[in-house]
């Protein structure tokens, strides 16, 4: 029998794979139509090629793994997967805000939102292109 006092992982507190997948489904739909995100020609090109279902899978798997769930993310590391996009701080902030708004709108409590957003922020230096780091 497990100890009820054991701290649950963020993964569990977000509702496990179903809770995370639901939030990601909403988030990716927002990002694909986000005018600010699509100002970046490389991001717009990625979005125009379709592939939302695959992208949703990768974001879900990454989120599951980063929040303490099973190690299931099959994608590249964040630096490699974002290098060609030449993301700047404003673009990172735009996606950061979209993630935070999505978590709020799907009913994620503040503590869990804050914990997840700290994970996202910890990846800023890997997502923002080296030439855009000074800000």
How many whole angstroms separate alpha carbon 123 and alpha carbon 82? 11
Yes or no: say if 62 and 104 are a contact pair by the CB < 8 Å rule.
Answer: no
Q: Is 82 annotated as a binding residue?
A: yes
Q: How many helices (H) and strands (E) does the chain have?
A: 8, 0
Per-residue DSSP letter, 77: -
Q: How far apart are CA 99 and CA 44, in angstroms?
A: 18
End-to-end CA distance of the chain: 51
Which residues are annotated binding-site positions?
82
Binding residues for heme: 82
């Amino acid at each position: 029998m497990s100890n009820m006092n054991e701290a649950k992982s963020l993964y569990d507190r977000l509702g496990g794979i179903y809770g995370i997948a639901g939030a990601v489904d909403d988030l990716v739909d927002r990002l694909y139509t986000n005018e600010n995100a699509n100002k970046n020609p490389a991001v717009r090109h990625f979005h125009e090629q379709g592939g939302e279902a695959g992208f949703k899978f990768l974001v879900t798997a990454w989120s599951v793994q980063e929040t303490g769930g099973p190690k299931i993310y099959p994608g590249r590391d964040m630096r490699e997967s974002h290098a060609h996009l030449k993301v700047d701080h404003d673009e990172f902030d735009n996606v950061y805000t979209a993630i935070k708004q999505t978590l709020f709108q799907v009913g994620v409590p503040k503590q869990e939102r804050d914990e997840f957003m700290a994970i996202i922020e910890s990846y800023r230096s890997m997502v923002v292109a080296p030439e855009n780091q000074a800000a």
